[in-house]
Structure 1
Amino acid sequence: MAAKTVAVLQTLRESGPGLLVPAAWLVVAAAHRGMVTARSIFIAHLVMVAFITFFLVTGWDEMTDRALQGWRVVMVVGVGVTLSGIAGFLIDPVATPLWAISLIGWMIIPAIGLFYTGAVLPEATTIYVAGGTLSIAGPIIYFLSVLVGVDLIAIAAIGVTAVGQTLGIGDAVLRY
């Protein structure tokens, strides 16, 4: 029984992010369109902190090789970014800036991880640089959507980020 549990947890840790990353961005886009309640997004933030902490605690010692060192840093910083989003639900006067930190943080921080991975994995440079570029383009497009006031451009920005990050995590799941 214990061996089976360990195997399930190992599979979740290795494959889970390949599903969680695109699913998270889909929920963000849906929330941006008003299709998901604030309460659901609050719960999603709590679940994200739990999942990221699980991945960090169970995989910390294994994240010492080339690319995984960078992703360990991304996840540690990501916990803080996600906690800022949680705080936004609890501290009303500063909700909007805290949510912005969470959203933009999750667009930019993984982009840095993608570029780093592209630098340390020459055999996968193209996919990670492409993923990082799309992930960085997302917040730039999002900022432009705020300037022009066009919500569909914001959705496109979220989609661009999602595609970039999904390219990277998809490769990571297949590669490792």
Structure 2
Amino acid sequence: MFRRTRETAPAGLVPLAWGFAIAAHLGLVADRPVLVAHLVMDALLVAFVALSWADMGAGVLRAWRLVILAGIPVTLAGTVGLLVAPDPASSLLVAVSVVGWTLLPVPALWYTGREAAGTAGAVNYAAATLSLAGAVGYVAALAAGAVPDSSLRIAGLAFVGVGQTVGIVDAAVRY
């Protein structure tokens, strides 16, 4: 049962995380719950990679293990930013965390698409493309100084969320 949870839980956690990020950008969630969510993500990422290390040693799973490993300090950056910044919405560390997670899965989604056959490959290429398009939109809006609840930043996060959700749900169903 525990193995099955590790295999399928990300299919629910990924869209939940992006939905929560969008809600935070819209001001629907206060900074404290966002901090708690980061602390939970920190713990889950470390636990997941530790418990799944041997299972993720080759092929596309190795690529995803690298995403998780790189994602741990990226998530910790957001946690620190939420703890120390007087205004987390303008914290460089929080921005690094959000932008990092918009970009980190893109190469692994593309690689998964390349390694998968037929429809599964196309699904992962589409997921990578959506994620990258969202990341570019979000970063462009951030660089332009758009406020957190701007339509371009929200649309960017939505594209990333949909792309990454498509990729992880495909993986949970297919593997």
User: What TM-score do the two structures reach when normalised by structure 1?
Assistant: 0.90
Q: Judge conservation of contact 1:134–1:161 (CA < 8 Å) in 2.
A: yes
1:21-170 equivalence runs, <5 A: 21-92=14-85, 96-123=91-118, 124-146=120-142, 147=144, 149=146, 151-170=150-169
How far apart, CA to CA, are the structure 1 residues paired with 2:38 and 2:87?
Answer: 17
Q: Equivalent residue of 1:35, what SS?
A: coil
SS in 2 for 1:167: helix
Structure 1 gap segments, 5+ residues each:
1-6
Structure 1 residue 94: Cα displacement = 9.6
1:138–1:159 contact (8 Å) kept in structure 2: yes
Residue 120 of structure 1 deviates from its aligned partner by 2.1
Closer/same/farther in 2, CA of residues 37 and 72 from structure 1, 3 Å limit: same
Q: Which runs of 4+ in 1 moved over 6 A?
A: none
SS of 2:104's partner is helix
Deviations 1:81-110 (A, max 9, x none): 000001102332795110111000000001
Find the aligned partners of 1:117 and 1:82 in 2 and give their Cα distance.
Answer: 23
| TM value normalised by structure 2 | 0.90
Matched AA of 1:129: Y
Q: Is the 8 A contact 1:118 1:126 kept in 2?
A: yes
Note the aligned Cα RMSD (angstroms): 1.7
Identity %: 39
Q: Which runs of 5+ in 2 are unaligned?
A: none
Q: Provide the C-alpha distance between the structure 2 equivalents of 1:159 and 1:67, rounded to a whole number of angstroms.
A: 25
Partners in 1 of 2:140 and 2:92 — Cα distance?
Answer: 17
**Residues paired across the two proteins, number:** 169
Counterpart of 1:3?
none
Give, in angstroms, the shift of residue 65 of structure 1. Answer: 2.9
